[in-house]
Amino acid sequence: MFGKVKDLIKDLQKYHDQDEYLLMPVWGVCDVQALNSSLSDENLIEVLRNAHRNHDAEIGINHDILRFHLEQLSE
């Protein structure tokens, strides 16, 4: 899932069993900004979007993955 908190909440409310347990690690703009504070909001969101679109489920998303996508912005 990727998007604004308010939109993710709406998506989660569509679950039939709202008592079901879920595991959803959360990465935010602040996590990317901690790695590079000079980026615009648009670039910070782009890094998160690219990490979400291209992640490997066996690796997941971590700081190394975010750094990789940060480096891709500058190429």
Band of the pLDDT at 15, cuts 50, 70, 90? confident
> Is the pLDDT reported for residue 55 higher than 80?
yes
Residue 7 — very low, low, confident or very high, per pLDDT cuts 50/70/90?
A: very high
Give the count of domains, the chain: 1
Question: Using CA atoms in the order 8, 38, 64, 6, what is the torsion angle rounded to 10 degrees?
Answer: 0
Choose the weakest-confidence range: 11-15, 57-61, 68-72.
11-15
Residue 32: predicted pLDDT: 97
8 A C-beta contact, residue 20 and residue 26: no
Report the alpha-carbon distance of residue 55 to residue 57 in Å, rounded: 6
Q: Is 10 exposed, middle or buried (0-12, 13-18, 19+ CB in 10 A)?
A: exposed
User: Which domain range does residue 57 map to?
Assistant: 5-74
The reported pLDDT for the residue numbered 72 is: 95
Burial of 34 (0-12, 13-18, 19+ CB in 10 A): exposed
